[in-house]
Every structure is written in C-alpha cells, then in structure tokens.
Structure 1
C-alpha cells in the first residue's frame, strides 16, 4: 500500500513538472533553440535533485541501507533528505555559475516559470484527491503565477523574480503558522528552513547580479 501510494505521488510529481516545462515552452518569447537550452538545464538540475534525494535517503538511513538496501529504496524520502537535496542543488548551481559561467538569473527565471506551474498542478491534484491543506497553498500559487505571467515585460526581471520569491516565502511562512503543516511537493516545510532558504537564495542572486554587472 505504501509503495503504491509512493508510485502515485511520484507519477503526479513527474506529470506536474512536465506541465510546467510545456507551459514555459509555450509562453516564453525566446527563440526555440534558446528555450530548449533552458529546458535542458532545468531538467538537468531536476535530475540532480532526485539523485541528491536518493543520496539523502541512504545517508540518513545508512545502517538500515547496509542491511536491507531495497527497503530504503522502496520507501519515499523524508523531509531531511529533501533539505539535503536542496542544499546540494544550491551548491551545484553556485558551482556552475562560478566555473561554467551559467547565468543564475536566467536559470531562476525559467525555473520560476516551471516551479510555479508544476506546484499549482500538483496542489490541484492533491485537492482533487481530498487533501484539504492544499487549498491555501494553491491560492498562493495561483496569485503568484498570475502576477508572474502578467507582469513579465513590465518589471525588470530581477525585480519581478524578487517580488515572486518574497511573495512565495511570505505565503508559505504564513501557512506554517495557520495550518498544522505546509508542504511543497509532499514534503513538510519548517519555518526555519524557509528563512534559511530565503537568505541563501538572496545571497546567490546578489552575487550573480554583481558578477553579471562586473
């Protein structure tokens, strides 16, 4: 039963990001070749993220993994593995920015497109499956997605991304206090992690902007 539920959850997440990527491809005004390049970069980071989650599952359950490896691999990752995957992904993005000259602001622009759409689709599916706690987050995502799409071209991209980012952080933080819990793609998010994530992301974007302006 647990394995079946895990497979369904993974299927919904894959479908959600597929919708997000298609949404970006259809709405972006970039050239087709450039859009494909950005999509490939986002997909590469998503694959890295999944690998990092598996690494986290193993590290946090190392003794059990050595005894019964299939047991660990069959069950979904917990929040600790999710946090570790976020940290490793951030380090990877910073490394690519420094050593491979990846434009972080351009990456964040594409990822915001994909993430907001994928999150909205995921939470909508959760609501359909009778998860009432998805409603609050769904409303926040709908507002951010509408703002992100409607304000493109009207605000400078760094300002728009910062507005969306602050809105998402504030919205999820509020949910952690008015609900028993708040989740992102099924993973429970703690207030301390939201604060740490916010500060870390600001630093990464600030360094990226200074590097670009230099």
Structure 2
C-alpha cells in the first residue's frame, strides 16, 4: 500500500538524518557548545524543510485535498513538492540570515556534513535493505564526497566547502543520468534541469569566493 511505503520512507529518512547528525558531531572540530547550537539551528531548518514538502504536496493537489485530504496525505510526495520545499527553504534561510541575524556560515558548516551523512545513509539503507542495487552509483558518489569533506573541511570556509560539495554532487548526478534510468535524492527523482541549476549556482558561489580571496 502507498501509505505503508510513505511511513517506511519517513522512517528511513529520520534514521538517515540522525546518522547525518552523528557524522557532523564526530567530524566537527568546533567546541561542544558551538556544535550544539549549530545542530539545533540545522535541525530546525530540516524540520521546516519536511513541513515545506508536505505543504507543497497539499498546495499542488489542493483540489483533491479539499474533497479528500487523506487521499493526498497517504500518498508519497512527488518531485515538484521537493522542488517547492527547496525554494521555500532557501527563502527561509535568507529571511533568518537578514532579519533574525542567523549566522549562515555557522549553520552551513553543520548542514553540509548532515546532508552528506544522511544522504549516504539513505542510499546505503536503500541498497542493503531494499536491495536497490542500481543505486550503487549514487552511493559511490556520496562516499567520494564524504572522503573529500573529511580531508578538507577543517581548512576550508563553510560556504566554499558547501559550494564545492554541491557542485561535485550535482555534476556527478548529471553524469549518472546517462548511465541510469533516473537519479534520486531521499527517494525523490531529480530532473536534469534541477541538477544543472544546482551546479550553476554552486559554481557561481565558488567563483564569488575565489574573487573575494
């Protein structure tokens, strides 16, 4: 049943995020109090992101939701809801940075390892538990990014590290689209235009950081 798939996927995502949080805590060189603050801010954004996905699913299916809300809530969110959530999350980060004086660099230094750790954990569970062996390419890409992060994150600014990670991730995912029927993140299929957009934005941030230096 679709509802059973939804609950299973939510459980895997929660476990993956917990693994990502543990990876951040172990790999971060920051003081314990700083790590706690970074983790709290990051988890707050992640919770908002999950809520944005559900909000996006409802808005995109508002006609069905009005007449039969359970029909919408019981079925998996699609990629369009994921894209909407990404946009809303970026707006949320900009708002918190400009209006609430959130330290974007501090939060990004936690979000990047949480993303890498959770995405790797999700793909690992998917390959081992669900026997989706076609995702070995995704798993390999994330393993490379984890190694790159561990090697250079202490010597690299958070914004630069984040841009580098997402540039390599999106480029790797674009390359995988030529070898596989589709590419995904946390179970959501990624369109090529979205990956290209992430790559372009990441490269622009890299260029901006280089000019600032």
| TM-score using structure 2 length | 0.90
Q: Distance in 2 between matches of 1:206 and 1:110?
A: 22
2:167 alignment partner in structure 1: 166
Q: Distance in 1 between matches of 2:148 and 2:107?
A: 19
| TM-score using structure 1 length | 0.90
Change (3 A) 1:156 1:39: closer
Structure 1 residue runs of 5 or longer lacking an equivalent are none
Change (3 A) 1:157 1:95: closer
CA displacement at 1:136 relative to structure 2:
0.3
Change (3 A) 1:51 1:104: same
1:51-87 CA deviation, whole Å, 9 max, x = no partner?
A: 1111111111111100001111111111110100000
Q: CA RMSD in A?
A: 2.1
CA displacement at 1:185 relative to structure 2:
0.3
Is 2:171–2:199's contact at 8 Å kept on the other side of the alignment? no
CA displacement at 1:160 relative to structure 2:
3.3
Structure 2 residue runs of 5 or longer lacking an equivalent are none
1:28-50 CA deviation, whole Å, 9 max, x = no partner?
A: 12111111111111111111111
CA displacement at 1:197 relative to structure 2:
2.7
CA displacement at 1:132 relative to structure 2:
2.0
What pairs with 1:37-116 in structure 2 (closer than 5 Å)? 37-116=37-116
Q: Distance in 2 between matches of 1:79 and 1:85?
A: 10
The aligned length equals: 210
3-state SS of the aligned residue for 2:59? helix
1:164-211 CA deviation, whole Å, 9 max, x = no partner?
A: 22211110111122211000000000110112233445667888x7xx
